[in-house]
Amino acid sequence: MRLFSPALAAALTAGALLALAGCAHVPADTAIPATPDFARVQHAASIKLARDAWPVREWWREYRDPQLDNLVARALNDAPTLAVARARLAAARAAVAGERAAAGVQTGLTAGLNRERYSSNGLFPPPIGGAWFNDTSVQVGAAYEFDWWGRHRAQVASALGEENARQAEASQAEQLLTAAVAQSYFRLQMLWARQDNADQLALEQRQLVEDRTARIKHGLATIDERRSAELELATLLEQASRYQTQAARERETLRALIGADSEALENLQRRVPLSAPGSLPQQLGIELLARRPDLQAARWRVESALGRVKASEAAFYPSLNLSAAIGLDSVSLEKLLRYGSRTLLAGAALDLPLFDSGRLEAGLAADRARRDEIIADYNQSVVGAVREVAEEGATLQGIDQQQKTHLGAVLAAAQLEDHAKARFSQGLLDRAALIQARIGVLHQHDVSLQIIDAKLQTQVALVKALGGGYRAAPTQAVSAQH
């Protein structure tokens, strides 16, 4: 049996030719933002650190702190922020599967059973009119749309771009989390260290107050000198209390980051973190693109936007759908499986956009504008990423120089204390002068702790700016042609 007669085939061919000749005009694409000039994407040559290297994947292990290693591991396993990123990635993968399925052959099975009374005054006269009949049918159908203009391929490519962007965002969430955990842990440890130092300063200052009190009794000091010492003691006690409060808040921040219960950090030991050698690559350029997961996500969003534009352009052209069905249909259930109950259907549908009041043009213009916006955002993100690297690198370089300079003040304070001890043992110096020398050493130690704190925070910020050890993994290819 022929499903198409020669006349019908000729008509379809003529219709297709007419469609090709009369399809809607695709507006010209007049503005495409340029990609970044990576030759200019570079930090200043004067910014140099101890090592020329990118961060390693597990960069936090370079601090040789088992407590930090454990906290990061717990965060990567339990933190709620990662669950959100993984859920978004799963949704993007489902969208890709949906777009791929929409481009294939669609088949289905339908079955129905209806009981109907035909009107006595209708189209069918008695004995059909006025009688009840069962209408039973079983049908298998198939449909396919030819993707001549690449619309389905572009939609799949757009969905793939979004999936790859979500995958890069999941890596970005991990990098941000590990950096936040490390910075919070370092901040907590340094607050504890400064609190301990403030307590020691208060202890020395209390001895100075006692010395002033004893000297007043012997007429060797004035009441104002004791009050001045008491004021300094009150300031130190207030400072120690402030550090304690800040440490308690920071511990709760750290606990929230790792998603732990209220007793998770009870056994956390106090220790001043060791600083790791700072590193900064001499050349950034296009390598930074593969090292920053947020830039990878932005690049894949550009690919997704290009796919949407391609799909919108393909919508201007005609589409051809083929459909076919085979089944059984009978007005009585007992005759359903007989040969005469068979039904056959074959058809073709041509959809040609001619006049839609500008709907296609508006949709394409919106997709192109969105593409331009995403490309511009991407370009700005690249420039911003280099700025972050340069700023943190310059800051860390300055802190290294400050640390070297401050070492002279530390040594001078230590020498003054040693001289004071020697003169005190010889009876050439009073106890108050010895206490003042010790206080001077503790004040310099507090400055050292502040420099260490700033260095640790900047080191982690620089690692984060360099991508935190991320390296773009092979991802699903985008097949749309741009």
Show Cβ contacts of residue 111 under 8 Å, excluding neighbours closer than 6 positions: 137, 138, 139
Describe the strand order of the beta sheet including 106-117 as a list of residue ranges.
106-117, 132-145, 319-330, 342-351
Spatial distance between the Cα atoms of 315 and 124, rounded to a whole number of angstroms? 45
**What pLDDT sits at residue 463?**
92
The answer to whether residues 324 and 141 touch, using CB atoms and an 8 Å cutoff, is: yes
326 by DSSP, 3-state: which? strand
5 by DSSP, 3-state: which? coil
Three-state SS for 169-226 is: HHHHHHHHHHHHHHHHHHHHHHHHHHHHHHHHHHHHHHHHHHHHHHHHHCCCCCHHHH
Q: Which phi and psi angles does 93 have, rounded to 5°? A: -65, -40
pLDDT in tens, the chain (482 residues): 444 455 555 555 555 555 454 455 777 777 766 666 655 666 776 777 777 788 888 999 999 999 999 999 998 887 777 777 778 778 877 877 776 776 677 787 888 788 777 787 777 788 777 778 777 877 887 777 777 777 778 777 778 888 888 888 888 889 999 999 999 999 999 999 999 999 999 998 899 888 878 878 777 777 887 888 889 889 999 999 999 999 999 999 999 888 887 677 888 999 999 888 878 888 787 788 888 888 888 888 888 888 888 888 777 888 777 777 787 777 766 776 777 767 887 877 777 777 666 788 888 888 888 888 888 888 888 888 888 988 999 999 999 999 999 999 999 999 988 998 888 888 787 888 888 889 999 999 999 999 999 999 999 999 999 998 888 776 555 544 44
Spatial distance between the Cα atoms of 381 and 49, rounded to a whole number of angstroms? 24
Residue boundaries of the structural domains of the chain:
31-103+151-315+361-465, 106-146+318-352
For domain 106-146+318-352, give the CATH number.
2.20.200.10
Spatial distance between the Cα atoms of 89 and 96, rounded to a whole number of angstroms? 11
Q: Is the pTM value of this prediction over 0.85?
A: no
Cα atoms in the Cβ-side hemisphere of radius 13 Å centred on 387: 6
**What pLDDT sits at residue 71?**
93
**What pLDDT sits at residue 41?**
64
**What pLDDT sits at residue 1?**
43
Of the CATH numbers 1.10.150.50, 2.40.440.10, 1.20.1600.10, 1.20.1260.10, which one belongs to the domain with range 31-103+151-315+361-465?
Answer: 1.20.1600.10
Got the DSSP string for 20-83?
Answer: HHHPPPPPP----PPPP-TTS----TT---SB--PPPTTGGGGG--HHHHHHHHHHHHH-HHHH
**What pLDDT sits at residue 66?**
94
The answer to whether residues 172 and 465 touch, using CB atoms and an 8 Å cutoff, is: no
Structure tokens at 423: 């003169």
Spatial distance between the Cα atoms of 380 and 373, rounded to a whole number of angstroms? 10
Spatial distance between the Cα atoms of 222 and 216, rounded to a whole number of angstroms? 6
Domains 31-103+151-315+361-465 and 106-146+318-352 equal at CATH topology level: no
